[in-house]
Chains A and B, each alone.
Chain A
Amino acid sequence: MSVQATSSSPSERIATLEMRGIVKRFPGVTALKGVDFDVHAGEIHALLGENGAGKSTLMKILYGLYQQSEGQVLINGAPVHIGSPHESTKRGIGMIHQHFMLVPSLTVAENVALGMPSGRGGVLDLKKISEDISQLSQKYNLRIYPERPVWQLSVGEQQRVEIIRALYRGAALLILDEPTAVLTPQESDDLFIVLKQMAAEGHSIIFISHKLHEVLAISDRITVLRDGARVNTIPAAGATRLTLAEMMVGRPVVLEYELPPPVRGEARLTVQGVSALSERGDMGLKEVSFTLYGGEIVGVAGVSGNGQHELAEVVAGMRPLAGGTIHVGDQPAGGKSPAALRQLGVSYIPEERMIDGVVKNFTVAENFVLKDQSDPPYALGRFFLRPRKIAEACRQIIHDYEVKTPGTDTPIKNLSGGNIQKVVLARELAQQPTLLIAAQPTRGVDIGATEYIHHRLLEERAKGTAILLISEDLDEVMALSDRIIVMYEGRAVGEVLRRDYDVRTIGAMMAGAGRGD
């Protein structure tokens, strides 16, 4: 069926694969510093590490997208050279990238056909390909319609296309780069079943992740990378989240927080029947109501694109209100500008920190005073900046927030995601807000900085600030929130109190099962 695997079984094609002493230098950075890695047929081997640890780079070398600066790859004990995706595909290596490699305007079948010999004389035989796709999708229980254009598919479906395409190309070894980042818990479970089935058939699976519980749930062995070096390879049996996290970060970390019972203050944010349009032009947020009190963290959970983004923006004054009312304290706040909201004690950590949070080419100090640059003590009158005062204040927050930066006058875009987010957080908290809206505060932020940001949020809670935490990371929402509002298709479909938290029930609500509650 698959064009290239007809000759032998996956376990014969790649019984073992070994990477030895892989070094990869990019201009200015050494991304990999002599990494050893191996995987064998029938095994699911997880590659775990913080953002920037080098996981993707290591796998791109294996797939032939990058060339290693030093080191060797061996398949079944024999050294091989993998100069391009063409060669890796030929040898039975398939990769599902972090950013899907699909062409939106093409159909599923066309995407599968791309780059493969098909039909006769260069004429596509899409019918044959569609039949093969249907066979594969039945075998692995991966529902997919070959004739649908890819732009109409959900991310989960797109991932299925990627997997089917890799199988169609005869992959004996499948690399998945953070495959669950875009999935609901339920979809992730489905994926794991498929991967286990593939492993049982003799495929080798390399599973990249930075989510500890997933790695523990699915893999046979785990390799941890840190700063481009391998920390260790251990069997999954016997490993714990805590040991893995310590290996990733290089120091002991706290993963679960003790939340003292909330000291509920007065109502800080009252949202009533609020609706808003999404970028797509449809009603992305539909009649959402809730009240947020001082001293509590309310989490908003949901799969990406179910209205959380619109909710955050409409409350922060970044998106017009299409219906309903918003009160901050007892002041009407619907339709107010971000600056007016700031006067009411509202601070906002935006989702797109590089677009809405900072000015990329400004320095750390300039970004720090971005919102109160024209107020004392940073300005003289309303016009003249006082650079010395600004630098002084900025140095203080660099120290307080442990921001890793060469100096206050470094362009902020040169900092890592975690450090940029610390600057944003510092700026917003310096306002001493009574209401903090935190949208995806730790997306793309390493564990160390995440832990720090979480502690800061909990400190704010203890101070009596009301916090609206919007995050696609369910673990994060569950770890920090006193209660969780679950969103689905623009509506708040349910609310769960901390004592009732359960991944399965919340996951089901995120997938729409909570409708009608």
Chain B
Amino acid sequence: MNIFETIGSIVTASVFASTLRLATPYLFAAIGETFAQRSGLLNLGVDGIMLMGAFTGFYAVYATGSLLLGVLTALVVGGLMGLAIAFISVTLRAKQGISGIGLYLFGLGLSELLFQRLIGTPKSIERFPDIYIPVLSDIEFLGIGQIFFRQNLLVYIAFASVPIAAYVLRRTSYGLKIRAVGQNPAAADAMDVNVARIRYSTQIFGGMMAGLAGASLSVALLGVFQQNLTGGLGFIAVALVYFGRWRPVGVMIGALLFSFVNALQLQVGALGFDVPPEFSTMAPYVITIIALAFAGRQTEKPTALTVPFQRGE
């Protein structure tokens, strides 16, 4: 086998299809976190919310068999955790890095405890089925049908959320307020924008998206729950927001980069190549660090990130 054949046997259409699939949790979590960060809130607890979303979503499906109820549960739980961290960051003006870590540990511990109490041994559930888009899913050319149009519902929603998020941030007065609050809250306040309300809203939205990200993992992607299911994926989502320079499209590019590496890992493992697993686990982090180190002018950077706001200095 020459080198091209080797690459060809590894990078197949199915790798690209699973790249899109694996990007879902990154996308949900990072798009939500983008909104929070654009308004000036850093939530390092995304992974904790994801774990709780993953567990509660899974449990709802496990108990009732309803996928819809699973997703709704994850959204509500995520939203509540977002509300909690918003209260801590906005109203109590706590140090955001520390409280985020607290939230992560809370989610990690509680999801495990609930799992032990309510389920005990690993069980699997019926996952979100793949939806074949008529006509398009039959396109053979370059495997386009397989890659783009035979995915589950949450994959479609995740990718649809990218342009919607970009549009909301750029073109609506709500998005304008978010950007203003994240850059110069005093100016926004003087212009009659309710800084606290905007930040609460973005953080609750961020929480819901993180919850959804968790559910997409447990209910759509894997169909199982286990202790620390996310394995720190939520932290990568936070890094992706920096990587993408606080723009939804940039975040998506980063998410795809990471999920591509993940998909390759799976493929390489499946083919039985002998690559040290540490190597591929490391790759995403190395990419992030490099991307951050080469960050250019960041006009979209929310300069008031992590700075609590109080009127009158």
Q: What is the CB-to-nearest-CB distance from A171 to chain B, in angstroms, rounded to a whole number?
A: 13
Q: What is the CB-to-nearest-CB distance from A177 to chain B, in angstroms, rounded to a whole number?
A: 11
The answer to whether B186 and A105 touch across the interface, beta carbons within 8 angstroms, is no
B117 at interface, CB cutoff 8 A:
no
Q: CB < 8 Å: which of B193, B300, B301 contacts A114? A: B193
Within A58-108, which residues are at the interface with B (CB < 8 Å)? 60, 63, 65-66, 84-86, 89, 95, 97, 100-106
Q: CB < 8 Å: which of B173, B187, B299 contacts A122? A: B173
The answer to whether A105 and B188 touch across the interface, beta carbons within 8 angstroms, is no
Segment of B43-51, B176-184, B210-218, B278-286 in the binding face? B176-184
User: Can you name the residue of chain A whose Cβ is closest to the Cβ of B300?
Assistant: A105
Contact with A along B283-312 (1 / 0, CB 8 A): 000000000000000011101000000011
The answer to whether B172 and A84 touch across the interface, beta carbons within 8 angstroms, is no
Docked pose: A106 CA to B303 CA in angstroms: 13
The answer to whether A106 and B176 touch across the interface, beta carbons within 8 angstroms, is yes
Within B179-211, which residues are at the interface with A (CB < 8 Å)? 179-180, 183-184, 186-193
- B174: chain A residues within 8 A (beta carbon): 122
- A85: chain B residues within 8 A (beta carbon): 189-192
The answer to whether A101 and B186 touch across the interface, beta carbons within 8 angstroms, is yes
Q: What is the CB-to-nearest-CB distance from A54 to chain B, in angstroms, rounded to a whole number?
A: 14
A151 at interface, CB cutoff 8 A:
yes
Docked pose: A102 CA to B185 CA in angstroms: 10
- B176: chain A residues within 8 A (beta carbon): 106, 110, 113-114, 124
Within A115-151, which residues are at the interface with B (CB < 8 Å)? 115-119, 122-124, 149, 151
User: Can you name the residue of chain B whose Cβ is closest to the Cβ of A97?
Assistant: B190
- Taking residues whose C-beta sits less than 8 angstroms from the other chain, chain A's interface range is 20 to 34
The answer to whether B192 and A101 touch across the interface, beta carbons within 8 angstroms, is no
- Taking residues whose C-beta sits less than 8 angstroms from the other chain, chain B's interface range is 20 to 34
The answer to whether B172 and A123 touch across the interface, beta carbons within 8 angstroms, is yes
User: Can you name the residue of chain A whose Cβ is closest to the Cβ of B298?
Assistant: A105
Docked pose: A114 CA to B181 CA in angstroms: 10
- Looking at B174, B177, B191, B299, which has the most chain A CB atoms within 10 Å of its CB? B191
Docked pose: A293 CA to B179 CA in angstroms: 53
Q: Known: A101-B190, A114-B177, A115-B193. Is A106-B183 also a contact (CB below 8 A)? A: yes
Docked pose: A256 CA to B152 CA in angstroms: 81
Q: Known: A105-B183, A105-B300, A106-B179. Is A115-B172 also a contact (CB below 8 A)? A: no
Q: Known: A102-B187, A106-B180. Is A123-B193 also a contact (CB below 8 A)? A: no
The answer to whether A102 and B184 touch across the interface, beta carbons within 8 angstroms, is yes
Q: What is the CB-to-nearest-CB distance from A123 to chain B, in angstroms, rounded to a whole number?
A: 5
User: Can you name the residue of chain B whose Cβ is closest to the Cβ of A86?
Assistant: B192
Q: Known: A122-B174, A124-B172. Is A103-B183 also a contact (CB below 8 A)? A: yes
- A149: chain B residues within 8 A (beta carbon): 299
Docked pose: A387 CA to B96 CA in angstroms: 42
- B179: chain A residues within 8 A (beta carbon): 103, 105-106
- A95: chain B residues within 8 A (beta carbon): 190
Q: What is the CB-to-nearest-CB distance from A64 to chain B, in angstroms, rounded to a whole number?
A: 9
Q: What is the CB-to-nearest-CB distance from A73 to chain B, in angstroms, rounded to a whole number?
A: 18
The answer to whether B192 and A84 touch across the interface, beta carbons within 8 angstroms, is yes
- B188: chain A residues within 8 A (beta carbon): 103, 114-115
- A106: chain B residues within 8 A (beta carbon): 176, 179-180, 183
- A86: chain B residues within 8 A (beta carbon): 192
- A122: chain B residues within 8 A (beta carbon): 172-174
Q: What is the CB-to-nearest-CB distance from B298 to chain A, in angstroms, rounded to a whole number?
A: 9
- Looking at A60, A105, A106, A119, which has the most chain B CB atoms within 10 Å of its CB? A105
- Looking at B172, B184, B312, which has the most chain A CB atoms within 10 Å of its CB? B184
The answer to whether A65 and B187 touch across the interface, beta carbons within 8 angstroms, is no
The answer to whether A115 and B177 touch across the interface, beta carbons within 8 angstroms, is yes
Docked pose: A422 CA to B189 CA in angstroms: 37
The answer to whether B187 and A101 touch across the interface, beta carbons within 8 angstroms, is yes
The answer to whether B180 and A124 touch across the interface, beta carbons within 8 angstroms, is no
- B312: chain A residues within 8 A (beta carbon): 60, 65-66
The answer to whether A118 and B187 touch across the interface, beta carbons within 8 angstroms, is no
Q: What is the CB-to-nearest-CB distance from A449 to chain B, in angstroms, rounded to a whole number?
A: 23
Q: CB < 8 Å: which of A103, A104, A124 contacts B173? A: A124
Docked pose: A65 CA to B172 CA in angstroms: 26
Docked pose: A84 CA to B192 CA in angstroms: 8
The answer to whether B171 and A123 touch across the interface, beta carbons within 8 angstroms, is yes
The answer to whether A101 and B300 touch across the interface, beta carbons within 8 angstroms, is no
The answer to whether A115 and B299 touch across the interface, beta carbons within 8 angstroms, is no
The answer to whether A105 and B190 touch across the interface, beta carbons within 8 angstroms, is no
Docked pose: A149 CA to B172 CA in angstroms: 17
User: Can you name the residue of chain B whose Cβ is closest to the Cβ of A110?
Assistant: B176
Q: Known: A114-B177, A123-B171, A123-B172. Is A104-B192 also a contact (CB below 8 A)? A: no
The answer to whether B183 and A115 touch across the interface, beta carbons within 8 angstroms, is no
User: Can you name the residue of chain B whose Cβ is closest to the Cβ of A105?
Assistant: B299
Docked pose: A102 CA to B184 CA in angstroms: 7
Docked pose: A103 CA to B184 CA in angstroms: 6
- A110: chain B residues within 8 A (beta carbon): 176
Q: What is the CB-to-nearest-CB distance from B93 to chain A, in angstroms, rounded to a whole number?
A: 17
The answer to whether A115 and B192 touch across the interface, beta carbons within 8 angstroms, is yes
Contact with B along A33-44 (1 / 0, CB 8 A): 000000000000
The answer to whether A151 and B299 touch across the interface, beta carbons within 8 angstroms, is yes
The answer to whether A114 and B180 touch across the interface, beta carbons within 8 angstroms, is yes
Within B84-135, which residues are at the interface with A (CB < 8 Å)? none
User: Can you name the residue of chain A whose Cβ is closest to the Cβ of B168?
Assistant: A122
User: Can you name the residue of chain B whose Cβ is closest to the Cβ of A84?
Assistant: B192
The answer to whether A103 and B192 touch across the interface, beta carbons within 8 angstroms, is no
Q: Known: A65-B190, A84-B192, A114-B191. Is A101-B173 also a contact (CB below 8 A)? A: no
Docked pose: A86 CA to B190 CA in angstroms: 8
- A117: chain B residues within 8 A (beta carbon): 173
The answer to whether A113 and B173 touch across the interface, beta carbons within 8 angstroms, is yes
- B183: chain A residues within 8 A (beta carbon): 103-106
Q: What is the CB-to-nearest-CB distance from B263 to chain A, in angstroms, rounded to a whole number?
A: 35
Docked pose: A165 CA to B188 CA in angstroms: 13
- A113: chain B residues within 8 A (beta carbon): 173, 176
Contact with B along A303-336 (1 / 0, CB 8 A): 0000000000000000000000000000000000
Q: What is the CB-to-nearest-CB distance from B184 to chain A, in angstroms, rounded to a whole number?
A: 5
Q: What is the CB-to-nearest-CB distance from A281 to chain B, in angstroms, rounded to a whole number?
A: 12
- B301: chain A residues within 8 A (beta carbon): 105
Docked pose: A124 CA to B180 CA in angstroms: 14
Q: What is the CB-to-nearest-CB distance from A483 to chain B, in angstroms, rounded to a whole number?
A: 41
12 residue pairs bridging A and B, Cβ less than 8 Å apart? A65-B312, A85-B190, A102-B184, A103-B184, A105-B183, A106-B179, A113-B176, A114-B191, A115-B191, A117-B173, A123-B172, A124-B171
Q: A97-B190, A115-B193 are in contact. List 11 more A-B contacts (CB 8 A).
A: A84-B192, A85-B190, A101-B184, A106-B176, A106-B179, A114-B187, A115-B191, A116-B173, A119-B173, A124-B172, A151-B299
Q: Which 3 A-B pairs have the closest CB atoms?
A: A115-B191, A101-B187, A115-B192
Binding site for A on B (CB under 8 A): 171-174, 176-177, 179-180, 183-184, 186-193, 299-301, 303, 311-312
